[in-house]
Structure 1
């Protein structure tokens, strides 16, 4: 270049390019703790409670996790959903309260202390009960502090300074008081029936404390000889039963058959050497199962024959002998004739067509003989609380059903061996089947008849709370159908069917750490006697007052019985009950000491929302419903929201043995809590959801795209002032279209948050931010924002960006709590500033403009055809950028043609010029098959390239400022 050649000035510094210190890289793991400290310092949660005048209360009642270990991914999902519910409702104008809580009593914590004892060789039974309970309390207290910090690290808001704990003295007093309501309304009773029993943990279990795993069990086919009447045509034949619990055979009291089953008499005609059957043996079997039974006895088809029908009428009045009857050394234990009758639970789908009955260990058998009034004759007490047979039981005394670690004990083998010895077995084998296990010890459970305390769900209460029914069951079912909204609706069906079919509630546990059943029984009275239970309001009040002052440990202090009974009744006339309450009763009572008793509770003691995992239909949702229906007369909640389980990326259940667990702490350390929260928002939590490294990478990518959108807005609003604001009525159509979209989205966001649909909210906002804004509106308007001077287009665009900023930050704040705070503070720094102290702005309804939206839908469709046509030219390297083009657009529809002519379509397509025509398109024009009536012919733009805005225009170089177009010359002037 010659020295005297004039140079075009560098106009870069004259452009209004985005300026912001907001970093592109988030650095969330390192930066999030500082925001947590800031929120604690300015007291965000407390300030929201102080500024709640005129707001409608909204309360999410927290289902308490156990305080016994670090958080897992299910905890993170659960608490994050709760946090989104609370924050979104707060920002929609409610006084949204959240009191976090912990379940501190019960087997999970007691088991941990026992594990510590076992490691030290220490005997729990040798430790004073109050000392043991204090160790449980200290253990729970330590984990409450640990979990509280882990929850706070996830950005969960709430009253962390004053949570609720079921082991707080007042909570224990209220739990006792709620139990006393069952005592006083007559629903409490002591009964003896088979309950799910953990021999390892030595306690009854609730259904919610049981999980099902595959277990290999012994199976035996046992022979009961027909003994009575002696002249019966079946006398001497055997009725065969099949069972997977050989250990119940010593407790057998009967055999039952089905009235609608076809039976036959089968005679053995030949036997292999290893079989336990003999030629001439006759067996009564269900015809549908006979072949299978004979095969189990190792008989071929030609080794037995069916010799007669056995009508059900022939079975009536028969008496059977137990296979151990008369065995040497049995001391007559099994010599009584076994009852034999019909029962409606017998089928011919598996087994033999007959069922052996040990009513002490099976609920169907128990109910059969209860209804017959024969329990006294058939109940046994052969199995002790540790799963061993009573010491004086012939042959089997002291044998264990399970060993101390929950594995197979010696009882089953001993029983089988004895049956073989006395000739009582026809066959034996093993089966793998789904079997109930304790969810805490992971050991199998048994059904065992023990005296327990129950709440009757079908007894009329007579407490005056009859609006929704007279019994607990009626009130619960009415609440489910009339008072509660279910998300998803399938939750209603699940809980309704459970309540509809459930038995009475087993309230008692044979443990030490919990709230005791605060009642007394009269010495010498029977459970059926009217005066068996002491029902006295003054006694109850003394107990509650003592618990409130000193906690439930006082129940175990020497002299406490006399302290509360003196002056009212004779303490020596009553026994004190030392069973503890089912921990589900504790958590089911939380509505009373959280919602009813606290200042941040609710006026009517009813929560707006309970939100937990789907397993809580048989857990907390269930127990809370039963408890409240017994004491309040209705459900303690208006909404029940349910989430599914968290699986790995392949849809498999997470387990440490598989190595596929995702630990929240690790995710937070690698990505930050906001990425974990975003994963929650992007998933359909109402079903089972998946998480893993690849899924989290995809979540992080979505986050980056959204972060860049926010960063662009911040950069473009750096110099925005109020005097630049443009009234919506004066804005160009493009800006009015954005406002229309905002009005649409505002409704979707609010209705989505109200319906707890975070996936729907985030999907709508994310699509808007990336498709409508980043890929369209920002792309179109950056030319005006960068290159215009003080024009309407530029001022209107900045006004819209300001409006967008306030809505996007508040819409997304309940989800991305840290990032939206960072974005907010970038614009509005200040010691007390926080996005979490503001509400979602109200959006004027008149921003909605459906005709304008329809017009711009057509404009965007035409733009899509143009940009697709230009992309081909760019790929073929005919042009480097769209500003080098001036395409000719052929439009068949006159209305669309007029719509495009009414706007600056070249700016919308980011081309230097565009020609719009209604003429027919030439054959070589670019078309898109899915968009009819729009065709594009590529043409290059004519003129020179403006050195400031890069448009190619004919007037470049003809203005005062060198190398620029007229628009840029005006801006420079």
Structure 2
């Protein structure tokens, strides 16, 4: 018997894609080499040259602190900034990026002090210039570290020319901006309660504070009433409630609500109270709080017997006076404690009566000052009472729980005095902490420098002669009025810093728009800006204050010398030794106090728009910025300080738009914490995944809200990346050998439809860039690559690509469209996958002097957009999906192998759809070997598609399979033989 002949092998005749672009990315190994090539190429500088003269887009970088490794929040922030600049550059604009760092202030000073403490060194024993030099060196170290870490993310910028707030030029500019505020009268020194860190011994800004839950000691203290227009009240006790026992030694008054109703009751049932004699005493509390007080203290408050009236309206209490529980100590404590009407008093909690300590509360300060009661400055900077204070002098620290505990000195003394109404109890609540030291802060009245929010602004001095400040020192505190907007919302009548800032907010674009309300409400309600800090590392408040008048000097010539000195020698130029030379011959140094405080670092960063955008040191930049981009916490931080500084000196915001992002949580949505062990380190992620995976994650999430990251999330991102990479791999292979000679302008309908989709995508992507919707930008590109290309066009045209002759017009059209697609996708994805797209670009066009990042937005012809064609093919795609769904059960049952083994009969629900399918080669589109299209006949169908309403019948095709293209066709006479098309191609 003769042997069966072996079927011919036609594999070598099939035009399979060929490329050296690997499926496996190996990003952790490849990306550093690409970075090195960009460095040698001078990518950033070359890009500036190529975009010179174009429309500018200026993103001003908000300065991170230079005091630690980059964390995932840094990574997200800088990737977003990079995406903004790269997409704007892709659109053809000149979008430079100058990174910067905040180098002054407590975060760095605190770290240097920690090093001192570890070496058992005392900071105060180190000469100030030497200490500052160590702070400068510490900051520079972390600038260098963070710079390399952020560069590793593929962030393109002027990394060799960053801005640093500690550069002498920057320090001089900050001083110059401060003096502008002084010259225009927008500066005063006053003692007001500010947030103070006893551990760090300095005032803090709101942005330097975080809130944590704590347990405090709550106490109810009885103040004996010694005089009142209401006779029944004399001899009774006014009861106040507080969670800060340490403020009782500085009490000066008691506040009541004018509209609150108060009740005079009698105490009984004092279980466990060590002074039974207090039972039967009468106490005054808010009527609405009687039951809550009974429950809290475990006592009974009974109506008084024999009195006609037991209740009083708050306004009736005017003129009532009590005495301090420690009045026997004499002096400060023997002074009467007046009852004062306070609109802020409520019956939400406590007793309805509030003890007033003007040293330690904003409401306290304002109410007491209006009634002639000034702060007494009893608590020192370290949190201890002054040594000469009449009660607990030299003791503290007041934030120590033991000091305030039920058995601590305050509660013990009040108990002994018979003023502690019941045993002290624990109270859980939220409390401000320094976000650096993590220690509790206090409100403490100190002499500080302020910028008033509601002082009517006037033009700056002309510069001729000598001027003086318009407000006085601490002995003349609070002269400036603090009007609020009218209840009707008519706004501020005068030109003030607050009114300017609110107007600027209205004129600024916020993304998302809710940021407008957030910063608006903060500016609307914020107190005066506290500029001063009692530290060493920072830009000094370069003011000379007349020792006799208490006014600060505003001489233009003196100011010019100060600015020049700082520009030459930095912050060390401001010293006692230099005072006379800075003042010049017109003044005597002994007649002036040289202010020793430094500036709030938020003022530093608020001035960056001046020395970065206006100075000319970075000629690629300009003022104002098109965009500021930071985390949502910067509504109370950098966004606000920049706004106030610019409105105070330039009358408008330094930005046209503000974009904010949320915070990164762990995979479960919990805040990241080292103590919880749930932090995600971007440096480790880059060694495992590569930077492009982190970039894809950052630009795929809805970053405007809080978002998550974790192993499962990153695994999903890696899968998304793999699909995009495989799309590029297919395009590179399918375009192997393509040149202009093969290019054509004649396209079949399928290719024209894909070009229509490309034109639609072009418009959508442009809108995404304008809206900063990067998650939608990435999703559109991913969906297009996966659904329109891989699962549709590539799938349909693989037969044409593999099996048609190279000269075939349809194949040429397909490869021409693939070239168009390649040029579009590689450019559109370049801002997202910066390294991968460079690898893709260099694979196709290897040139050491070229980069995908030089390329501009792809040219999309307006004529490609065809709505009618798009609608037609969307319907065709619905029928294709229906066909695939109908075949799948037979594939699972192994009745057919691939769809090429299927014979499909489609009965459409109407002749219109039937004509639609007959107008194209639907057999090719559905990738089957036989297709029958009818209408209005459902005989023999087994599958009904819910979308198209078509009835489909699937059978195994009866024809033989072509040995080259694998289609089953009637012209194939034997299994493994060739169809007519393949015969022609093979025989050439």
**Secondary structure of the corresponding residue to residue 192 of structure 2:** strand
Structure 2 residue aligned with 1:496: 520
Structure 1 residue aligned with 2:911: 894
Pick from 738, 744, 748: which aligns with 1:726? 744
Compute the displacement of 1:419 (Å): 0.6
Pick from 419, 427, 431: which aligns with 1:431? 427
For 2:306 and 2:822, the matched residues in 1 are separated by: 86
The 3 A distance-change label for structure 1 pair 927 and 962 is: closer
The 3 A distance-change label for structure 1 pair 797 and 191 is: same
Structure 1 residue aligned with 2:322: 320
**Secondary structure of the corresponding residue to residue 57 of structure 2:** strand
Compute the displacement of 1:971 (Å): 1.2
CA contact (8 A) 1:358 1:378 kept: no
CA contact (8 A) 2:265 2:302 kept: no
For 2:306 and 2:211, the matched residues in 1 are separated by: 40
**Secondary structure of the corresponding residue to residue 554 of structure 2:** coil
Deviations 1:550-574 (A, max 9, x none): 1111113x52111111223222211
Compute the displacement of 1:12 (Å): 0.4
For 1:771 and 1:588, the matched residues in 2 are separated by: 47
Structure 1 residue aligned with 2:564: 545
For 2:195 and 2:619, the matched residues in 1 are separated by: 36
The unaligned stretches of length 5 or more in structure 2 are 462-491
**Secondary structure of the corresponding residue to residue 311 of structure 1:** strand
For 2:301 and 2:281, the matched residues in 1 are separated by: 15
Structure 1 residue aligned with 2:498: 473
For 2:828 and 2:431, the matched residues in 1 are separated by: 47
CA contact (8 A) 1:62 1:99 kept: yes
Per mean C-alpha deviation after superposition, the further-off stretch among 490-499 and 271-280 is: 271-280
Structure 1 residue aligned with 2:847: 830
Compute the displacement of 1:637 (Å): 0.3
Compute the displacement of 1:195 (Å): 0.6
Structure 2 residue aligned with 1:56: 55
**Secondary structure of the corresponding residue to residue 615 of structure 1:** helix
Pick from 964, 970, 983: which aligns with 1:954? 970
The 3 A distance-change label for structure 1 pair 310 and 543 is: same
CA contact (8 A) 1:610 1:639 kept: yes
Structure 1 residue aligned with 2:593: 575
Deviations 1:742-789 (A, max 9, x none): 000011111111221110101011001001100011000000000000
Compute the displacement of 1:523 (Å): 1.0
The 3 A distance-change label for structure 1 pair 550 and 401 is: same
**Secondary structure of the corresponding residue to residue 795 of structure 1:** helix
CA contact (8 A) 1:18 1:718 kept: yes
Matched, 1:419 2:414: yes
Compute the displacement of 1:469 (Å): 7.8
**Secondary structure of the corresponding residue to residue 515 of structure 1:** coil
For 1:675 and 1:28, the matched residues in 2 are separated by: 9
Q: TM-score, normalised by structure 1?
A: 0.95
CA contact (8 A) 1:886 1:911 kept: yes
Structure 2 residue aligned with 1:456: 452
CA contact (8 A) 1:263 1:311 kept: yes
Compute the displacement of 1:275 (Å): 5.3
Pick from 959, 963, 976: which aligns with 1:943? 959
Matched, 1:813 2:830: yes
Structure 2 residue aligned with 1:283: 283
The 3 A distance-change label for structure 1 pair 464 and 535 is: closer
Query: What are the within-5 Å matches in structure 2 for residues 842-881 of structure 1?
Result: 842-881=859-898
CA contact (8 A) 2:532 2:541 kept: yes
For 1:339 and 1:163, the matched residues in 2 are separated by: 58
Structure 2 residue aligned with 1:749: 765
For 1:878 and 1:306, the matched residues in 2 are separated by: 102
For 2:114 and 2:985, the matched residues in 1 are separated by: 79
Matched, 1:346 2:345: yes
CA contact (8 A) 1:674 1:817 kept: yes
Structure 1 residue aligned with 2:646: 628
For 1:750 and 1:276, the matched residues in 2 are separated by: 77
For 1:311 and 1:521, the matched residues in 2 are separated by: 50
Compute the displacement of 1:301 (Å): 6.8
Structure 2 residue aligned with 1:643: 661
Compute the displacement of 1:144 (Å): 0.3
The unaligned stretches of length 5 or more in structure 1 are 527-531
Structure 1 residue aligned with 2:219: 220
The 3 A distance-change label for structure 1 pair 305 and 832 is: farther
For 2:922 and 2:170, the matched residues in 1 are separated by: 69
For 1:60 and 1:812, the matched residues in 2 are separated by: 20
Query: What are the within-5 Å matches in structure 2 for residues 633-712 of structure 1?
Result: 633-712=651-730
**Secondary structure of the corresponding residue to residue 95 of structure 1:** coil
The 3 A distance-change label for structure 1 pair 87 and 364 is: same
Structure 2 residue aligned with 1:32: 31
The 3 A distance-change label for structure 1 pair 130 and 410 is: farther
Matched, 1:511 2:535: yes
CA contact (8 A) 1:218 1:429 kept: yes
Deviations 1:570-593 (A, max 9, x none): 222111111000000000000000
CA contact (8 A) 1:402 1:408 kept: no
For 1:823 and 1:84, the matched residues in 2 are separated by: 19
CA contact (8 A) 1:65 1:102 kept: yes
For 2:134 and 2:615, the matched residues in 1 are separated by: 28
Matched, 1:803 2:820: yes
CA contact (8 A) 2:662 2:704 kept: yes
For 1:894 and 1:100, the matched residues in 2 are separated by: 64
The 3 A distance-change label for structure 1 pair 270 and 641 is: closer
Structure 2 residue aligned with 1:917: 934
Structure 2 residue aligned with 1:248: 247
For 1:408 and 1:773, the matched residues in 2 are separated by: 69
Compute the displacement of 1:651 (Å): 0.6
CA contact (8 A) 2:228 2:317 kept: no
Structure 2 residue aligned with 1:144: 143
Compute the displacement of 1:292 (Å): 2.6
Per mean C-alpha deviation after superposition, the further-off stretch among 46-55 and 586-595 is: 46-55
Query: What are the within-5 Å matches in structure 2 for residues 134-533 of structure 1?
Result: 134-228=133-227, 232-269=231-268, 271-272=270-271, 274=273, 276=275, 278-300=278-300, 308-312=309-313, 314-326=316-328, 330-372=329-371, 374=372, 377-402=373-398, 408-409=402-403, 413-427=408-422, 428-463=424-459, 470-482=495-507, 484-526=508-550, 532-533=551-552
Compute the displacement of 1:602 (Å): 6.8
Compute the displacement of 1:912 (Å): 1.1
For 1:90 and 1:421, the matched residues in 2 are separated by: 74
Deviations 1:802-852 (A, max 9, x none): 000011011010011011111111101011121011112121111000111
The 3 A distance-change label for structure 1 pair 690 and 271 is: closer
Deviations 1:346-386 (A, max 9, x none): 111211110000111110011113334x1xx3421110011
Compute the displacement of 1:468 (Å): 13
Compute the displacement of 1:229 (Å): 5.1
CA contact (8 A) 1:45 1:157 kept: yes
Per mean C-alpha deviation after superposition, the further-off stretch among 423-432 and 679-688 is: 423-432
Structure 2 residue aligned with 1:128: 127
The 3 A distance-change label for structure 1 pair 687 and 8 is: same
CA contact (8 A) 2:23 2:725 kept: yes
**Secondary structure of the corresponding residue to residue 722 of structure 1:** coil
RMSD value over aligned CA atoms? 2.0
Deviations 1:516-538 (A, max 9, x none): 00111001223xxxxx1100111
Deviations 1:880-934 (A, max 9, x none): 11111121111123222122112111111111121111251125431122331x1
Compute the displacement of 1:411 (Å): 8.7
